[in-house]
Amino acid sequence: MLSRSYRSIVPAVVLATAVVTASTVLPASAATTKKTPPDPAGQHSVRGGVSDQNFYFVMADRFNNGTKANDDGGLGADPMVSGYDPSRKGFYNGGDLKGLQDRLDYIQGLGTNALWLTPSFKNKAVQGDGSVENSSAGYHGYWVTDFTQIDPHLGTNAELKTLIDAAHARGMKVYFDIITNHTADVIQYQESESAPYISKETEPYRTVAGEAFDDHDYAGTQDFPALDPSTSFPYTPVVPEAEKDVKVPAWLNDSTLYHNRGNTTFSGEDALYGDFFGLDDLFTENPRVVNGFVDIYKSWIRDFGIDGFRIDTMKHVNDEFWQQFGPQVLSYAKEQGKDEFFMFGEVFDTSKSVTSKFTTRNKMQAVLDFGFQGAARSFASQSSKASGLAEFFNGDDWYTDADSNVYQLPTFLGNHDMGRIGTFIAQDNAGASDAELVERDELAHELMYFSRGNPVVYYGDEQGFTGAGGDQDSRQSMFASQVQEYLDDDLLGTSATHAADNFDTGHPLYRKISELAALTAEHPTLRSGAQQNRYAADAPGIYAFSRIDAKEQREYVVAVNNSESAQTAEIPTYEAKQPFNLVYGNAAADVKTNTQAKLTVSVPPLSTVVYQAAGRLAQSKAAPGVVVKKPVTAAGDATRMKVTADVDGNSFYEVTFQARTAGGEWESIGTDDNAPYQVFHDVSAMQSGASVEYRAVVLDNAGHTSASEPRSGVVGEPAQPETVTVAGSLNTELGCTEDWQPSCEQASMTYEPTHRLWQLNVPNLPAGTYGFKAALNGSWDENYGVGGVLDGPNIVFQHSGGAVTFLYDHATNVISAVTAGPQPAAVSVPGSLNSELGCAGDWMPDCPQAQLALDPVDGIWKLSVPDLAAGSYEFKAAINGSWAENYGLGGAPNGSNIALKHDGGPVTFRYDPASHLLTTR
């Protein structure tokens, strides 16, 4: 039945001056709380044994030269044989394990309790075309030939054991950087030197008998067909005679244990099967490879007491490998007495729907938080709006499952591949004073140390290292360098250069990092406490969050300010009239919340303040009511169900979600300790259309529990309606014959299958107040109003005039109107198609040929490509020629890549600045 009530008002999605993130959302209804024994399903949020780690990430060759005896690795004076040339940034420069041990006082002085080494196994010393100019050395450790031996340039196995024992004696853990995706480049291809990738569709794998098969059918099992190097692969692998036995263990010399499909382009299928810059890509679907690597890394745990692994190129290895490798290695480590053994992987992606699957579906403990790196740079270095941080942290629940969550992720500001935080800050603030650059660097570190996760300091950042960019340009030595490119660097916070040693414990950044580590050790809630978004300015300014420990129950408020002027904000907290004391920063020593539980905080420019509540939270008398909302297919990942609970109350709560299928028992799928309370349940193993029942159990701060009524969800993308119409009082403005016309063609939305959203762009809607709903299939039989409620109240839209975009999501039944702010200066489509467009390379946001043009008629940015080659492509929308602001699948900021399988021919890219949807036609 048509509703024209305006009692429930939903304004247009326009940006306010600030986003205030309250601690809870009141449900539409709440269950009555009864005095009953606590529900055992009510659990505390998981905290791993590594939620108090301060990592120091170091490249041994570039840190400290303990002895010159091993500089050439015993290979002689010729740099093209030994790889040692201290004047070249791409060759060994002389650092070693003894040098690391000699400087443990310096490293520990930063507050470091976890030392992470780049791969230290024996490497192929030099790779390239035979010329010095086009060759480089394995100083970084990622070209392994022998997985059982320390590289002679760095020392010996015995010296590693001595270093580990010395670190353990100081209470420091040692983490090894390991590789399972590839080995050094030894295998060549008989047919080609350049070896472009050949897909499985073009050339399937074949058994020794010549029968085609899909390797994925065997992944995760202990079975695999026998293979023949001469007939099983699209390329014929050939190993030079001099290197036929160079790899250790010996099984690595079997060329049938490699994919042999040519070089990856880092997108689609070849991201898993292609050779990584020519490196030999292992056949990780084969159980011989899985079992072989499990055995290799067990030995390093058993024989050397390694405390954990950072895993290289995790994104480029199949899921089934991790589902076996992770649990087996972790179980073995615990058998060896390593109860806090910890593994985290490199998944070079900023989309949480992508990165989180490695800790949920793939059973690994953690991944490096690349999304945090981008958000922190945007905030601290580029002075983006503070609400961007709130949006970023709001996505943390993607990582929540029964045994892990976002609190375990290592966070970082820069690294050996992408570049240093000092470099980014200098690039983003050209012309700024050194004092400002240091302030911004300190602000970035404050955000990293006070927010959730385990902070990683990249060696040299504490000395203000910068550099021209990433990779070799971000790998300066801490000892006096002879590399001319490094000698030209301008370091932050010092007049020093790379011509001398840089181990200055008086450097302002060294002192700042030491101070942050000491403060978080004194106040461990700032490291492991629940993190709750509180306030975010919709401009440069204050982002505030609270941290609270489930046991201590004392709230901390952290406020970071990226504005160049002092800012003041009223920050919501859990309790009214609560005194707070300053524990960090330059601000009033004592403040108190008002009767609305808001804390007025003033923060100096480019700085941070932290307050601690004087008292603990009042104990709850009874657990609040809880209601599970309609479970829906998660935007950006159709294999996950988004399950959300509304909790009636305003205190610290922990909500455990449970799921069951027909006839099954309730199983916990994750506990969330901050609002909005939600999990993204992995249902990839279930059949599409299967019904899953969910419930939520609230645990309050006094041990009381309450449970919701069960709510069912259906796995898989729901069948889309034939049509969706924006039916309302605006229909005549759109050209319909009358208002509230559910069958009007001019009000009909267009379905975008890539984004799974319905969209209607209106270039110029007159100013006014309008009511509307989503009408399906041209009638009022099925319609949705406020909050996606069937037959719900009309949505009210107050419009100032101009372009507006309507969006409808059939997974949630929510329809909304969004308006754009000022048009950007430029919009581009960086992706794997850029080289086809004439760009110098792929993924180039500043490439002229990838730029869209604004169509003033409809306000949409467009790029028409007359003849795009057939292929599978990935892309995003980039704003103003850089990655600082970008939009992916579903219009999400820093979202997943958008995929396009193109048959060849013309294609038009269209970007809507209101919804941020980038679509193709």
Q: Using the Cα atoms of residue 446, residue 447, residue 453 and residue 457 in order, give the sign of their dihedral.
A: negative
Catalytic residue (one of 281, 346, 442, 700): 346
User: What is the amino acid identity at position 584?
Assistant: Y
Q: Which tokens is 197 given? A: 């990738």
Q: Using the Cα atoms of residue 147, residue 151, residue 155 and residue 160 in order, give the sign of their dihedral.
A: negative
**DSSP string of 10-79, one letter each residue:** ---B---SEEE--S----SS-PPP---PPPTT--PPP--TTTT--EEEE-GGGT--S-GGGTTTTS-S-H
Which residue shows structure tokens 């059973």? 363
Which residue shows structure tokens 């590289």? 151
Which residue shows structure tokens 């382009």? 265
144: CB partners within 8 A, 6+ apart = 119, 121, 122, 123, 124, 179, 183, 184
Cα distance between residue 521 and residue 537, in whole Å: 29
The SS3 assignment for 599 reads strand
Q: Which helix (DSSP H) or strand (DSSP E) does residue 297 occupy?
A: helix 287-304
The SS3 assignment for 227 reads coil
Q: Which helix (DSSP H) or strand (DSSP E) does residue 157 occupy?
A: helix 157-169
Cα distance between residue 849 and residue 906, in whole Å: 15
Cα distance between residue 861 and residue 408, in whole Å: 40
Q: Is the distance from CB of 661 to CB of 690 less than 8 angstroms?
A: yes
Q: Decide the pairing of beta strands 366-367 and 342-345.
A: parallel
Q: Is the distance from CB of 749 to CB of 806 less than 8 angstroms?
A: yes
Inter-helix orientation angle 434-450/508-522, to 10°: 20
Cα distance between residue 79 and residue 91, in whole Å: 8
What number of other Cβ atoms are within 10 A of residue 405's Cβ?
Answer: 28
Cα distance between residue 884 and residue 801, in whole Å: 29
Cα distance between residue 431 and residue 39, in whole Å: 60
Phi, psi (deg, nearest 5) at residue 97: -65, -35
Cα distance between residue 8 and residue 793, in whole Å: 6
Which residue shows structure tokens 């080609």? 192
Q: Which helix (DSSP H) or strand (DSSP E) does residue 160 occupy?
A: helix 157-169
Based on the residue annotation, tell me whether 346 is a catalytic residue of this protein: yes
Q: Using the Cα atoms of residue 626, residue 630, residue 635 and residue 640 in order, give the sign of their dihedral.
A: positive
Burial of 333 (C-beta count, 10 Å sphere; 0-12/13-18/19+)? buried
Catalytic residue (one of 151, 159, 312, 489): 312
Burial of 772 (C-beta count, 10 Å sphere; 0-12/13-18/19+)? buried
Listed in sequence order, the DSSP H helices in 605-742 are: none
Q: Which tokens is 73 given? A: 């690795």
Based on the residue annotation, tell me whether 312 is a catalytic residue of this protein: yes
Using CA atoms, how far residue 546 sits from 21, 533, 604, in Å, is 11, 7, 19
Inter-helix orientation angle 287-304/319-335, to 10°: 30
Q: Is the distance from CB of 287 to CB of 224 less than 8 angstroms?
A: yes
Among 350, 327, 276, 405, which residue's Cα sits nearest to residue 673?
405
Q: Is the distance from CB of 549 to CB of 52 less than 8 angstroms?
A: no
Q: Using the Cα atoms of residue 57, residue 59, residue 62 and residue 64 in order, give the sign of their dihedral.
A: positive
Which residues have a catalytic role annotated? 312, 346
